[in-house]
Amino acid sequence: MRRYIATRVVTMFGVLMITLLITIALVGSNMDTILTQGIVFQVRSEITENPAIAESFSTVEEFEEFIQSQIEQRIKILGLDEPWYSPQRIGVTMYKIMMLDFGNATFLTSDEGSSDVKDILFEKLPRTVLLFTSATVIISIIGIFLGAFSSSKVGSIIDRITSSFAIISSSFPVWWIGMLMIFLFAFTYQIFPARATPDIPSSDPAYIGSLLYHMALPLITIVMIGFGSWAYLVRNFMVGIMQEDFIIAKKTIGIKQKKIIYTHALKNAAPPIVTILALSLSGSLGGAIITEAVFDWPGMGRLYFEAITVMDLPVIIGATYLLTVFFLISIFVADLLYGYFDPRVRTGK
Query: What is the C-alpha to C-alpha distance for residues 203 and 159, in angstroms, rounded to an integer?
Result: 48
Smallest Cα–Cα separation from 241: which of 163, 150, 151, 147? Answer: 151
Q: Are 139 and 223 in contact (CB under 8 A)?
A: yes
Query: What is the C-alpha to C-alpha distance for residues 81 and 269, in angstroms, rounded to an integer?
Result: 57
Reported as half-sphere exposure (CB side, CA atoms, 13 A), residue 224 has a value of 15
- How many other CB atoms sit within 10 Å of the CB of residue 252? 8
Cβ-count burial of 171 within 10 angstroms (0-12 exposed, 13-18 middle, 19+ buried)? exposed
Q: Say whether pLDDT at 343 is over 70.
A: no
Smallest Cα–Cα separation from 249: which of 262, 237, 234, 264? Answer: 264
Which region holds residue 146: left if phi is over 0, alpha if psi is between -120 and 50, else beta? alpha
> What pLDDT is stored for residue 139 in this prediction?
92
The region of weakest confidence among 42-46, 122-126, 328-332 is 42-46
> pLDDT per residue over 158-208, tens digit each?
888 888 888 888 788 888 888 999 999 999 988 988 888 888 877 788 888
What is the overall mean pLDDT for the chain? Answer: 83
Segment 14-30 shows an average pLDDT of 80
Query: What is the C-alpha to C-alpha distance for residues 301 and 319, in angstroms, rounded to an integer?
Result: 10
Is 116 strand, coil or helix?
strand
| Whether the predicted model's global pTM rises above the 0.95 cut | no
Q: For residue 180, give the amino acid letter.
A: L
